[in-house]
Amino acid sequence: MKLLEVKDMRAAYGRIEVLDGVSLDIEAGEIVALIGANGAGKTTLLRTLSGVHPLAAGQIFFDGVDVSAQASHVRLRAGMAQVPEGRQVFGPLSVRDNLLMGAYVRDQAEVPQDIERMLDLFPILREKQHLPAGSLSGGQQQMLALGRALMARPRLLLLDEPSMGLAPVIVQEVFRIIRRLRGQGTTILLVEQNAHLALTVADRAYVMESGRIAFSGDSGSVRGDPQVQKAYLGL
């Protein structure tokens, strides 16, 4: 079943067109990777999907419903949550309050048990739950940003550059959590500069170039494509 279907998506910043007729789809339960060079339009695609950036043309269907004109908070309530590039936690607020911010669309009676679920998923956050989020390391902030998005109980997680700026051991931990989330039924659209790692965890992948989808397929075929190997895998 297609959880997300994008048809001829176009988006721009002023007169500069960034997305030029992007079409893609994601089946429920999949991890789909979106790889490409800096400036290819990957982050803009996620921002347009979540409603943070306006759609100039095209259509976005989420679980069969056309959400193209819906505000971002409506899409969040429907089950689409984004973890932004650069984490963007609320630095002065405590770790616990950051998690609570992610649950503002939820039935508040269910929130305490979900806080505990996040603290179990990210044990380091339990240790630091009363500290300002700005005092955390980069890796800990990434886990907090993930936890904050998961507090909305999303069916589709839009994950933007989760490994950016992190030590290798922390990157492996973050991707272990991504695999665990997929095992729990969360569908993930993953934008990741580390193409090798993204293709290792993904079921399928799209390659973006200059605002368009240049190549797509299952992760094995994308990983085996000579142009992808040369441009993104260093082979």
pLDDT of residue 110: 85
Residue pLDDT, tens place only, 64-96 = 999 999 999 999 999 999 999 887 899 999 999
Residue pLDDT, tens place only, 96-135 = 999 999 998 888 888 999 999 999 999 999 999 999 999 9
24 to each of 29, 67, 107, 147, 186, how far by Cα in Å?
16, 15, 32, 27, 18
pLDDT of residue 209: 94
Residue 66 identity: D
Q: How far apart are the first and last CA of the chain?
A: 35
Across 1-56, where does the E strand assignment appear? 2-13, 16-27, 31-36
Structure tokens, 187: 């569908």
Residue pLDDT, tens place only, 2-31 = 999 999 999 999 999 999 999 999 999 999
How far apart, in whole angstroms, are the C-alpha atoms of residue 219 and residue 33?
8
Share the mean pLDDT of the chain.
Answer: 93
**pLDDT higher than 90, residue 166:** no
CATH architecture of 2-88+155-233: 3-Layer(aba) Sandwich (3.40)
